[in-house]
Amino acid sequence: MPLIDGCIHPWPAGDSSLRRMAIEARELGFDQVVAVGGGGDVPGVLRGTVISASSVKEVVAAVQGIPRGSGVVMVNAGEIAFNRAVIGLRGVRVLRGIHKAPKGAFNHVAAREAEVRGVAVELDFSPLVEGRGLSRQRVISRYRDILQLARRYAFPCTIASNARSILAQRSVRDLVLLARLFGMEEEEVTGALSSLDSILAGRSPVQVVRG
Amino acid sequence: MNQLPSQRERRRYILVRFEPEGVSPDPRELYAAVADACTSLWGDAAASEISPSVMAWEGQAIIRCRRGTEDRLATAVATITRVGDRRVAARTVTTSGTLHGIRSRPLPRPEALWEREVGIGGRAFLARGYAGQKVDLIENGIKGQEMLFFADEDGEVR
């Protein structure tokens, strides 16, 4: 299964070109990256779109404007009702920015729906790397809660560096070490890094669920 | 007081390389960055248990810690984003139980293969090409030398 960095933001949003970030990602142990923006057709790069909206109507309009099969559609998380509605939308693959959403914005009901719809929750590692003090503690605590729900309800997670520079990209080994901060095991990290591949391929009619 | 070798505390050594290519952090600033990262991530008590010390030269460093704390040190190193005023990325290369073992694995010093002036968005940059199709661009000027990172095939640096 390919290991995929769930989201990067190349030039002009950042200071590194898409090609350079793809080269760096390969050296750091990734097979593919999801890039939001950046030009050119680069091997090992999946295209991604981030939808930031305050209402579900806006998300629906934005999703309808994206041609089907044109990459990974990610929506920034909000309140619990918004998140549940977004998870139910056709075409949405990833709910991102869950650490910035209010507490309780992702509960067991949303977790069950995410599992049924095959929508992944993104774990953004940039606040673990760049954050300090209370802000990082909150993120670790939030991810611990998400991980507990993921273990119980088996919805997919993705891991993203959300790097805007090659200097913000981290190796697979670094991500494994950082994930231990909230109790994520190495197997779970590699599973999360490769989950986008199966999400994009579509759900198999037969599913093996661990008891 | 000198101790017998068998009574000395066991250590681990981590080899770290830095990006951008060719950057050589000042050892004192690097020590401050490592100590700050350890304290911030693990707290004072755990940082004193890790007890990091640093030897740095030309784009690489060996960071020493107590045995059993190397994973915690490597995690803290992954959170380093700045050394002094410079933005850097610290990449852990390998871990060894002896200084001799880690010194036997020197990393090749990245040499610029070519240099030329390029203009991007009305600004002048010095472009340096490295192995692996990497091109680092350093803004010309005295104030705020911004760095950009491109690849050989990018239209902006051709």
Whether B123 and B98 map to the same domain: the answer is no
CATH of the domain at A138: 3.20.20.140
pLDDT confidence band for B126 (50 / 70 / 90): very high
In a domain, A206, yes or no: no
B129-152 confidence digits (pLDDT tens): 999 999 999 998 776 678 999 999
User: Can you tell me the distance from the alpha carbon of B75 to that of B70, in angstroms, rounded to the nearest whole number?
Assistant: 9
Query: How long is chain B?
Result: 158
Q: Find which of B42, B65, B149, B157 to mutate to test the A interface (most A CBs within 10 Å of its CB).
A: B149
In a domain, A210, yes or no: no
pLDDT at residue A41, as a whole number: 86
Whether B146 and B94 map to the same domain: the answer is no
- Which residue range is the domain that position B124 belongs to? 114-157
B105 three-class SS? coil
Q: Which of B58, B76, B103 is the last residue of a domain?
A: B103
Token output for A54: 């305050």
Residue bearing the bigger pLDDT, B22 or B27: B27
Whether B33 and B93 map to the same domain: the answer is yes
Give me the residues paired with residue B19 across strands.
B89
Whether B73 and B149 map to the same domain: the answer is no
In a domain, A121, yes or no: yes
Which residues in chain A have their CB less than 8 angstroms from residue B120's CB? none
Whether B81 and B144 map to the same domain: the answer is no
Residue of A nearest to B38 (CA): A132
In a domain, B109, yes or no: no
Residue appearing with tokens 């994930």: A179
User: Can you tell me the distance from the alpha carbon of B95 to that of B1, in angstroms, rounded to the nearest whole number?
Assistant: 29
pLDDT at residue B103, as a whole number: 84
Whether B122 and B151 map to the same domain: the answer is yes
Total domains in chain B come to 2
Q: Which of A183, A133, A185, A168 is nearest to A28 (CA)?
A: A168
pLDDT at residue B9, as a whole number: 86
In a domain, B3, yes or no: no
Q: How far is B123 from chain A (nearest CA, A)?
A: 14
Total domains in chain A come to 1
- Which residue range is the domain that position A122 belongs to? 4-201
Whether B61 and B19 map to the same domain: the answer is yes
CATH of the domain at B99: 3.30.70.3250
In a domain, A211, yes or no: no
Low-confidence ranges of chain A (pLDDT < 70): 203-211
Q: How far is B100 from chain A (nearest CA, A)?
A: 24
User: Can you tell me the distance from the alpha carbon of A196 to that of B39, in angstroms, rounded to the nearest whole number?
Assistant: 35
pLDDT at residue B145, as a whole number: 77
Whether B90 and B17 map to the same domain: the answer is yes
In a domain, B123, yes or no: yes
Whether B96 and B60 map to the same domain: the answer is yes
pLDDT at residue A68, as a whole number: 80
Whether B20 and B60 map to the same domain: the answer is yes
CB A36 within 8 A of CB A8: yes
State whether A23 and B154 contact (CB < 8 Å).
no
- Given the cut 0.90, state whether the ipTM is greater than it: yes
In a domain, A45, yes or no: yes
In a domain, B61, yes or no: yes
pLDDT confidence band for B66 (50 / 70 / 90): very high
Q: Which of B63, B78, B103 is the last residue of a domain?
A: B103
pLDDT at residue A7, as a whole number: 97
Is the model's pLDDT at B82 over the cut of 80? yes
Which chain B residues touch A if contact means CB-CB below 8 Å?
19-20, 40-41, 71, 74-75, 78-79, 81, 87-89, 91-92, 132-135, 146-151, 153-154, 156
Nearest to B151 among A20, A130, A174 (CB): A20
Per DSSP (E only), the strands in B21-122 are 53-57, 60-66, 82-83, 86-87, 89-96, 114-120
In a domain, A88, yes or no: yes
State whether A23 and B132 contact (CB < 8 Å).
yes
Residue of A nearest to B157 (CA): A17
Whether B46 and B91 map to the same domain: the answer is yes
In a domain, A38, yes or no: yes
In a domain, B54, yes or no: yes
Residue of B nearest to A15 (CA): B148
B106 three-class SS? coil
The size of the A-B interface in CB pairs under 8 A is 81
In a domain, A208, yes or no: no
Whether B25 and B63 map to the same domain: the answer is yes
pTM: 0.93
pLDDT at residue B102, as a whole number: 87
CB A83 within 8 A of CB A75: no
